A = this chain, B = another copy of it.
Amino acid sequence: MDENWLPTLKTDTPQEGYELAVKLSRMSIKFMQPDADVRSAMRLMYEYDTQALISASQTIAEHFQTIAAANDYWK
């Protein structure tokens, strides 16, 4: 894990904010399952598991809400 992987919640555009939300979602998995090989194996499975993908999309949506607020919705 990079030592400094989340310096700020500010992004230039909504799209970069969305990408950051995806990253924050993935970091949770890293915190709970530090073994990269295990994570790769799990990813191979859940990429084909509709329910897992949809559940993960809820996490992304929650993080995007936070990041959007942090950027005053890029108004």
The residues of A with any CB-CB pair to B shorter than 8 Å are: 4-10, 13-15, 18, 22, 24-25, 27-29, 31-33, 38, 42, 45-66, 68-70, 73-75
Contacts and interface: CB of A to CB of B under 8 A. Distances in A.
A48 to B, nearest CB: 7
Contacts of A15: 4-7
Nearest to A31: B22
A68 B68 contact: no
Contacts of A32: 46-47, 53, 56-57
Contacts of A7: 13-15
> Interface centre among A4, A38, A56, A65, by most B CB within 10 Å?
A56
Contacts of A75: 10, 70
